[in-house]
Structure 1
């Protein structure tokens, strides 16, 4: 089990958090993000698709995408995030292609974060809805980009020659929405649960029953806290934290 407390300080530097759709980060990591920004950490979001296939009415997909951009910016503001990048991929068609990976590499080299967050690339069979194909593609694209492409100057060399974006070694990858057997890091968000809920409420096009959503999220956060050993009156978010470039990492291993 990884002690997450040392990461919740300004010394962490920057965090870049990826999601497949607007609202994914708010379900998976908004409480942790609120704790990070409260501690002085700069967090930026990158949403890979426009969420144009989401919702529960016959609204035009272009209008859905416009609304979901607005919703995500409002949700981000609720937890202290000022910068939201949108890759503009089509909802339901995200793939870990070189087109997507190059965009991920570019952004990571621009931001140079200490922690990258992304959705988990492995399917969780206990709750299949967590493993939407776009979720898996988000995790796979980011994981492939982090190693080796972000740190390899020969990957997408035009990013250096044309844009001046030098190779960069990412220290940590935190994956949310992981199968439970992969989880090794739990963040106590008890003080930040109201902010997480406010962020989720901002996605008004996605919640036909807000009360049911809040009940479900609260129960999940309580269960996370129990599995993380944080106590029955606590709330937590869970991650599969991977040390990409640790003190003992050597080239290629």
Structure 2
């Protein structure tokens, strides 16, 4: 794994608003505390989600972008980018790989955090089809697309985006994590970020307790001890 001092820029690639906050907001907050530059890239605007039925898709997309901006601010992220793909119908494609590879070459991250591309049969929620499509496409964009100057050559010729090698990927939501981040000191900021997604979580009774219990369970599995909270990832070395 990369040492802390080798991680200076991080790109978090997710399918929907709130995905980064459920999976990695505590870790992101700790990165920002250390001076790491973090960028969020959202493939969709989340216009097919939520419990606010008075809004059409356009209105929901605008609301969810606003909520994600507030959530990102809670953990110190200000660089947020949206690709605008249709929520609920994301599929692996060359077009999606190119969109993600473009941002990788723009941001030039040491580490990418994204969804696990495989279905989690132990806990189904992270296995939304959009999540799996984005996770797989992001891994393909990391290897081989972003590092290969002959992949999408127009990115070099027309946009002056030279090839870039991401050294490591952390996958969220899988059933076989091998790395845990102790987010105890950032759990309140993670909760604030999650509660910024009012259209998604305001109706959930006992939401804060649910979040704390879930991430306390990860901390126990990681061996961090009672009173701690953790986020879990599967790490992939790509360099």
Residue correspondence of structure 1 range 45-64 to structure 2 within 5 A: 45-58=40-53, 59-64=55-60
Q: CA deviation at 1:211?
A: 4.3
Report SS of the residue matched to 1:113.
coil
- Return 5+ residue gaps in structure 1 as ranges: 246-253
Q: 1:85 & 1:190 partners in 2: Cα distance? A: 28
Structure 2 partner of 1:226 = 220
Instruction: Work out the number of aligned pairs and report it.
Output: 238
- Return 5+ residue gaps in structure 2 as ranges: none
Please provide the CA RMSD for this pair.
1.3
- Pick the aligned partner of 1:122 from 118, 135, 140: 118
Q: CA deviation at 1:210?
A: 4.5
- Pick the aligned partner of 2:237 from 240, 243, 250: 243
Task: State whether residues 45 and 61 of structure 2, in contact with CA within 8 Å, keep that contact through their aligned partners in structure 1.
Answer: yes
2:197 corresponds to 1:199: no
Q: 1:101 & 1:137 partners in 2: Cα distance? A: 10
- Pick the aligned partner of 2:180 from 186, 207, 211: 186
Q: 2:114 & 2:92 partners in 1: Cα distance? A: 13
Structure 2 partner of 1:151 = 147
Q: 1:46 & 1:73 partners in 2: Cα distance? A: 12
Structure 2 partner of 1:112 = 108
Task: State whether residues 195 and 202 of structure 2, in contact with CA within 8 Å, keep that contact through their aligned partners in structure 1.
Answer: no
User: Normalized against structure 1, the TM-score is what?
Assistant: 0.91
User: Normalized against structure 2, the TM-score is what?
Assistant: 0.96
2:46 corresponds to 1:37: no
Residue correspondence of structure 1 range 10-25 to structure 2 within 5 A: 11-25=6-20
